[in-house]
Amino acid sequence: MSLKRIRRLAPSIRFRLTILNVLIFGLTMGGFGYATSEFLKRSLQKEFDDALFNYAVDVVEGITLDQSGDLLLTPPQLDHLKSYPFALGTALLQIRHRSGTILSKVGLWGEFRVPFQAEFERLGKGEEVVYSTQRDLNGLPLPEAGAYRVIHFPIDNSMPPQLILQIAAPTTLLESQLATRHLAFAVSIPLILLMAMLASYILAGRALAPITVMVAQANSIGAQELSKRLPVPETRDEIRDLALTLNQMLERIDRAFQSQEKFIADASHQLLTPLTVMKGALESARRQESLTTESIESCLTEVDHLTNLVRDLLALARMDAGVETLQFQKLFLDELVLEAIHKLEPVVRQKDIRIKFDLMDPLVSGLERPQVKGEEQLLTTLIYNLIENAAKYSPRGSQVQVRLRWTKENQQLDVIDDGPGIPVGSENLIFERFRRGTGSEGARKPGFGLGLAIAKKIADVHGGELWVDQAPSQVAENTEQKGASFHFRVKNF
């Protein structure tokens, strides 16, 4: 029976394990029983043949000559010190010449004939004695068993022998012993298999009991109950590993649901603010029965805010869909930095902020310009968001430093500003969605708090790293204007 058929007929794992255990144990027991039966059969057969051999020796010692010179065959008297696996009175004895002539016989032979030619040939080749089993008992007046064991024993020492003693003994006791043992196997093996099946079923049930509890608990966990966890068994086995793995998965799902709910709530709030402003401007215009330039400008500003917000949300959704939806290509990171700086010129010009781009010189370093594998639009957005964030939080008239360095393995982009820096313990929080900071003057900066979250997500989908720490120059000077230093590292193509 194949494993597929077992799965189809037995949908329960417990039942399948029981069947497999019984099959394996049954095949083992069957093989062991067959081997044991053959061993016992050979052992009993050898004991029978040894007894028959000893009996033949006793008979040969009692062969004498009568007054006419003929051989006289006299069965030995019963010796209480010897035991034979057959009744002495049931054994058939005869002396035969090589020519086939029967010289003397004892017992009710009737027309029963035993072969002799092949046996003479084997004895002539040097065999000490020859045994055969006679199952064709035609002509035997009173058969004592279903088969007779015949020994062909040489009487003279010539080679080849001229006379042999043939003794045919019924195998009644041998057959009885074999039948008893076969019956014992036929009864004991099914009982053992039944006990093994019950034991396997009980043990499998105990082993799978934690899974049953886990299934019941998992079925009780709904979308509003993701804080629940599956029970972890105390045993240190695969089931415990499964429970721990499923609990870790539930924890990730719980965090994802919480993040999704928070994201939806924050997004709704961010969308509501510009819509409220637009509604107020339009209601004011309706009361005045005319659209003023101020109302139109206010509405356009909020539309721009909505457009930017939706664009950022779509970018996050696109990356959340998976890397397989992105189109990667070979790119030069320095070209993307220059493109982002060019786009930011109008923004930084309003605050009189200078952007200093420090690019590694290939001639000095001895390393050629490497490329990265990524999506051009996303990597440009990452660089743009980092520089735009630095300019947003830097005071007027300050400088934003942008450095690009590379090694044989990777490239690193550093963006350093002169802003208020990052509060201690908030180095990871600033990459959360809708997280906004305050400027050097303490006021909350405009925006939606998605720029750094998008940059972090872009770094992740490109297999890179994005982190922040205090600006090294400001830390060394121990000034209150600490500044922040953002670092983006990505592997070379």
At 308-362, the pLDDT tens digits run 777 777 777 667 666 556 788 999 999 999 999 998 888 888 889 999 999 888 7
What phi, psi does 472 have (nearest 5°)?
A: -60, -35
Residue 437 CB partners (closer than 8 Å, separation 6+): 393, 420, 422, 430, 444, 445
State how far Cα 378 lies from the chain centre. 38
Decide which of 37 and 436 is more confident.
37
**DSSP run (H or E) holding 459:** helix 451-461
Q: Tell me the percentage of the chain whose pLDDT exceeds 90.
A: 16
pLDDT band at 475 (very low <50, low <70, confident <90, very high): very low
Asked if the model's pLDDT at residue 9 lies above 60, the reply is no
What's the mean pLDDT in 13-24? Answer: 82
Asked if the model's pLDDT at residue 426 lies above 80, the reply is no
pLDDT of residue 420: 84
Distance between CA 415 and CA 339 in Å, rounded?
15
pTM score of the predicted model: 0.49
The single-letter code of the amino acid at 337 is V
Residues of the chain with CATH 1.10.287: 238-320
Distance between CA 93 and CA 107 in Å, rounded?
7
Decide which of 148 and 235 is more confident.
148
CATH of 238-320, one of 1.10.12, 3.40.190, 1.10.287, 3.10.450: 1.10.287
Distance between CA 323 and CA 371 in Å, rounded?
19
Is the distance from CB of 404 to CB of 334 less than 8 angstroms? yes
Average pLDDT, the chain: 80
Is the distance from CB of 402 to CB of 415 less than 8 angstroms? yes
Residues of the chain with CATH 3.30.565.10: 323-491
- Residue 267 CA neighbour count, 13 Å, CB half: 16
pLDDT band at 80 (very low <50, low <70, confident <90, very high): very low
Q: What angle do CA 342, 347, 350 make, to 5 degrees?
A: 125
Residues of the chain with CATH 3.30.450: 15-177
How is domain 323-491 classified at the architecture level of CATH?
2-Layer Sandwich (3.30)
| pLDDT tens profile 242-263 | 888 888 888 888 877 777 777 6
pLDDT band at 366 (very low <50, low <70, confident <90, very high): confident
Fold of 15-177: Beta-Lactamase (3.30.450)
What's the mean pLDDT in 84-96? Answer: 76
| pLDDT tens profile 134-187 | 988 888 888 888 889 999 999 888 888 889 999 998 888 888 888 888 888 888
Decide which of 489 and 236 is more confident.
489
Asked if the model's pLDDT at residue 266 lies above 70, the reply is no
